[in-house]
Chain A
Amino acid sequence: MNIVTIRQTARRMWQLHSRARLDDWIVPMARLAQLSWRRGLITRASLVAGLLALGTIRSLATEIIGAAQQRQESQLAQADRERSVTGVNTTEDPPSALAAGAPRRLPPVFVQEQPKTIGDLRSIEHHVSGLVTSVSKAVVTLQVGASTGSGVVISPDGLVLTVAHVCRSPGREVTFIFPDGRKAKGKTLGINHGMDSALARITETGPWPFTPPGSLDQANLGQWVLALGHPGGFDAQRPVVARLGRIIRLGTDAVQTDCTLMAGDSGGPLFDMHGRVVGIHSRISDSTAENFHVPITTYFATWERLAKAENWGEQPVLAVAWLGTRGVDHEDGCLLNHVNETGPAFKAGIKVGDIIRKINGQEIRSAGEYSAYVRKQKPGDEVNLELTREGKQLSVKVKVESRRR
């Protein structure tokens, strides 16, 4: 047995296993919802519901945006993924900003620390409206398997910057849709899961509308930026959606702006006022000022690996406090309807049907309050659960574990 078949078998087993586990608790849920569709539909619906539910459970501070539709991938897409990518062999130099000629002088308001007058705002307005017209033609929608996101073409022969969580792996087939509705076929190239950066290319013959990449070397806090993309996925009735903002933080891991982003924007471009790509939309968090973009710098620092369709890096692990329980609202607190057998709650003797009344002395009034309280704990902490089991009051100590999301 060679390595590939071992890997495939292992993956297949994992799939079967995880699917069985999903069905365990979703089918009763589907019944609850009184779905009386065909059996096939139930299974599909339950898988979708399961994925959505899992998504909800994994709710955390930072949220990966992007895939507007998170449907279960088809077997085909899965097979595609397993084929892996030795077939693509691209080595080319990154397109350079210089190719576009020297940047034009910007209106003075963009070098000021802060606009001071209505005239300054008018100057921004005039410049930005022109910019949207000139760069939006290079903004594309990507359809990769069952997920969709955005991207930006940076060379006339069709190299596209996007993010890892839309592409997921190298060598997958992509359909690119331009704002005018034109479609083109292509492939995903290199993926860096750690930074969430990814490269793709249109394989049909160009030239394609493009906009050159820029640089963050001279970037400042407060610099004005324009975000384009397809929030919510491609919509033929709606052109590319424009948002304006300023750079709030410049990190090596991410650029943060107040250009609001949404699912479907993932992979879309962040432009400087010269119309050059300086970031790629990646993640959002609770506040509307927490929008994170992959810095353009990382694409060029790893250009060779991206062009060679390498697949590397891991999604950063965020340790999440975890007891391994799920519950629903109950008049006395939170009624547990699921206890994970590998979780710390199970090990401490917590059972399905237990009603959690208090954690560490704090009263719990709903399932939401319960999970919010758990999430606020640190892995390693011990929590005291006061609960009702078959009419009896109990108190159980559980050590909080962590789980990657």
Chain B
Amino acid sequence: MNTIAKHTSPNSHGAAASRARRCHFNLLKAFLIAGALLSVAETRCLAAASEPGWLSKEKFKSGADTLKILAGISERTQRSVVKLDVNGNTVALGTIIDSRGYALTKASEMRKGTLTAWLADGKEVGAVVIAIDDESDVALVKVNASGLRPIEWARGAAFVGQWAITPGTEDTPQAIGIVSVPTRRILHERALIGVQMDFRSPVATIAQVLPGLGAEKAGLKSGDVIVSVNHAVITDSASLTETLRNYREGQNVLLGVRREKLDLEFQVEMKVPNTDGNGSSPGREERMNRLGSEVSRRSEGFSLAIQHDTVLQAWQCGGPLLNLDGKAIGLNIARAGRVATYALPAGLAQNIASSLKARAVKESRGDN
């Protein structure tokens, strides 16, 4: 399923229409600024009223005073970042990888609608999604602008404690944090074949087939012994669980099964069971995870990721993650929870970029 629509530049709209939109935008901006000022005033009052002993917000780790130090880095990188809007709502940042206007961004945020890109000079231009890497959730976007500057990638692995800067198109970065965990694989949300195992059995024996999941549809029965998953040998329930952890929702696995004296094979679809019924009430842990910032729609399942503690909003993903030299150590790919943001490491991001570009070139030749 591909929900991404390709769109052409909105420059074809009449000048009057674009003026009207700009006017709306300015109004909105005025409101936002007024709102922000009010809320700042309010917080100040609260802080002042309750206790004098508070650190001022500007001095927080990612406060304005800290970000001010990084103005030089922002100045050098603001033309390497674009802000991407779909139908006028900002959905992601983009990382420029080529002066012709190619950018990488977070694919799952490219919803249906008119895609535009805001540049550091305040211009809004058209943009088109060219190619998508589903596995890593990266999209290649062509931005209709010149004078953009490709991001410089850092060499070497990110290390714990390293500053991680998320720049935008403004004069100072969006936010700063530190690398929290060395680069590692982030598993997908656990998907199931839908069986309950008999843990007393020395081999992988099914105790019960759960209703409504893949195993039942494929015809597995209680008492069946699973001996392989996609031809990898399964010795017991533990090795089955471990092997299945490598597959995600929607993927099919081929199970080798021993039923009495027969050797059988079943094609089973992996599924994430719907635990919260109508989906209206997330669990306690999940609720805590969302305290303070909204989590990206796709926030799991990356072959490699740097985990950092920068507090970003979901729409601030897709842009580069910089070190103190202003070079990209990664590409922000997901806001994963209250304590975690993930970035694809620079090496992986560069590989994805070149394969997406190659694919785009091939496809455009095919069109001719």
Binding site for B on A (CB under 8 A): 29, 32-33, 36-38, 52-53, 55-56, 59, 63, 65, 68-70, 113-118, 120-122, 124-125, 128-133, 221-222, 231-232, 237-239, 241-251, 258-263, 265, 284-290, 329
Which residues of chain B are within 8 angstroms of A122 by Cβ–Cβ distance?
324
- A242 in contact with B180 (CB, 8 Å): yes
- A288 in contact with B292 (CB, 8 Å): yes
B60 at the interface (CB under 8 A from A): yes
Q: Which among A122, A128, A260 has the highest number of chain B CB atoms within 10 Å?
A: A260
The answer for the CA separation of A36 and B324 in the assembled complex, in Å, is 56
Stretch at the interface among B103-111, B126-134, B279-287: B279-287
- A258 in contact with B62 (CB, 8 Å): yes
The answer for the CA separation of A287 and B340 in the assembled complex, in Å, is 15
B211 at the interface (CB under 8 A from A): yes
- B70 in contact with A246 (CB, 8 Å): no
- A247 in contact with B55 (CB, 8 Å): yes
A65 to chain B, nearest CB (A): 6
The answer for the CA separation of A38 and B211 in the assembled complex, in Å, is 11
Binding site for A on B (CB under 8 A): 51, 53-55, 57, 59-62, 65-66, 69-70, 72-73, 159-163, 177-182, 184-185, 187, 208, 210-211, 277, 280-281, 283-285, 287-289, 291-293, 307, 309, 311, 324, 337-340
CB-CB nearest in chain B for A58: B284
The answer for the CA separation of A232 and B285 in the assembled complex, in Å, is 8
- B339 in contact with A237 (CB, 8 Å): no
Partner of B291, one of A117, A130, A259, A286: A286
Which residues of chain B are within 8 angstroms of A125 by Cβ–Cβ distance?
161-163, 178, 324
7 contacts between A and B (CB under 8 A): A33-B277, A125-B161, A132-B160, A231-B339, A238-B181, A244-B309, A286-B292
Which residues of chain B are within 8 angstroms of A55 by Cβ–Cβ distance?
283-284, 287
- A249 in contact with B159 (CB, 8 Å): no
- A65 in contact with B339 (CB, 8 Å): no
Given A260-B311, A260-B338, A284-B338: A248 touches B283 (CB 8 Å cut-off) = no
- A262 in contact with B338 (CB, 8 Å): yes
Given A243-B309, A250-B53: A258 touches B180 (CB 8 Å cut-off) = no
The answer for the CA separation of A156 and B284 in the assembled complex, in Å, is 36
- A59 in contact with B287 (CB, 8 Å): yes
Which residues of chain A are within 8 angstroms of B185 by Cβ–Cβ distance?
237
- B324 in contact with A121 (CB, 8 Å): yes
- The 9 lowest CB-CB distance pairs between A and B, nearest first, are A129-B161, A288-B292, A55-B284, A33-B277, A128-B161, A243-B309, A248-B55, A221-B55, A260-B339
- B277 in contact with A242 (CB, 8 Å): no
- A284 in contact with B288 (CB, 8 Å): yes
CB-CB nearest in chain A for B54: A249
Partner of A246, one of B61, B162, B178, B277: B61
The answer for the CA separation of A68 and B288 in the assembled complex, in Å, is 10
CB-CB nearest in chain A for B185: A237
The answer for the CA separation of A128 and B178 in the assembled complex, in Å, is 10
- A56 in contact with B287 (CB, 8 Å): yes
CB-CB nearest in chain B for A241: B180
Having A243-B178, A243-B339, A249-B55, one finds 7 other A-B pairs with CB under 8 Å, namely A120-B69, A222-B55, A222-B59, A232-B289, A237-B184, A241-B307, A262-B337
B289 to chain A, nearest CB (A): 6
The answer for the CA separation of A192 and B307 in the assembled complex, in Å, is 34
The answer for the CA separation of A34 and B184 in the assembled complex, in Å, is 38
The answer for the CA separation of A70 and B283 in the assembled complex, in Å, is 10
Which residues of chain A are within 8 angstroms of B65 by Cβ–Cβ distance?
114
B368 to chain A, nearest CB (A): 47
Which residues of chain A are within 8 angstroms of B340 by Cβ–Cβ distance?
231, 241
B216 to chain A, nearest CB (A): 11
- A246 in contact with B311 (CB, 8 Å): no
The answer for the CA separation of A113 and B175 in the assembled complex, in Å, is 20
Which residues of chain A are within 8 angstroms of B159 by Cβ–Cβ distance?
129
Inter-chain contact total with CB atoms closer than 8 Å: 156
- B69 in contact with A241 (CB, 8 Å): no
- B60 in contact with A248 (CB, 8 Å): yes
Which residues of chain A are within 8 angstroms of B162 by Cβ–Cβ distance?
125, 129
- A242 in contact with B181 (CB, 8 Å): yes
- B324 in contact with A260 (CB, 8 Å): no
Partner of B61, one of A130, A245, A250: A245
Given A118-B72, A260-B292: A52 touches B284 (CB 8 Å cut-off) = yes
Which residues of chain B are within 8 angstroms of A263 by Cβ–Cβ distance?
284-285, 288-289
Partner of B339, one of A53, A247, A261: A261
Given A231-B340, A244-B61: A260 touches B287 (CB 8 Å cut-off) = no
- B288 in contact with A118 (CB, 8 Å): no
Which residues of chain A are within 8 angstroms of B54 by Cβ–Cβ distance?
221, 248-249
The answer for the CA separation of A248 and B73 in the assembled complex, in Å, is 27
- A288 in contact with B338 (CB, 8 Å): yes
The answer for the CA separation of A247 and B54 in the assembled complex, in Å, is 9
- B339 in contact with A52 (CB, 8 Å): no
CB-CB nearest in chain B for A29: B277
The answer for the CA separation of A248 and B47 in the assembled complex, in Å, is 11
- A115 in contact with B181 (CB, 8 Å): no
Which residues of chain A are within 8 angstroms of B177 by Cβ–Cβ distance?
244
Which residues of chain A are within 8 angstroms of B281 by Cβ–Cβ distance?
52-53, 56
Q: Which among B59, B287, B291, B340 has the highest number of chain A CB atoms within 10 Å?
A: B291
- B293 in contact with A288 (CB, 8 Å): yes
Which residues of chain A are within 8 angstroms of B280 by Cβ–Cβ distance?
329
Which residues of chain B are within 8 angstroms of A222 by Cβ–Cβ distance?
55, 59
- B53 in contact with A249 (CB, 8 Å): yes
B334 to chain A, nearest CB (A): 15
CB-CB nearest in chain A for B72: A118
The answer for the CA separation of A70 and B286 in the assembled complex, in Å, is 12
- B289 in contact with A262 (CB, 8 Å): yes
The answer for the CA separation of A56 and B210 in the assembled complex, in Å, is 28
Which residues of chain A are within 8 angstroms of B283 by Cβ–Cβ distance?
52, 55
- A32 in contact with B291 (CB, 8 Å): no
- A131 in contact with B180 (CB, 8 Å): no
- B55 in contact with A243 (CB, 8 Å): no
CB-CB nearest in chain B for A38: B208
Which residues of chain B are within 8 angstroms of A248 by Cβ–Cβ distance?
54-55, 60
Partner of A242, one of B161, B184, B292: B161
- B292 in contact with A287 (CB, 8 Å): yes
Which residues of chain A are within 8 angstroms of B51 by Cβ–Cβ distance?
249, 251
Q: Which among B285, B337, B338 has the highest number of chain A CB atoms within 10 Å?
A: B285
- A56 in contact with B285 (CB, 8 Å): no
Which residues of chain B are within 8 angstroms of A244 by Cβ–Cβ distance?
61, 161, 177-178, 309
- B178 in contact with A242 (CB, 8 Å): yes
The answer for the CA separation of A70 and B288 in the assembled complex, in Å, is 13
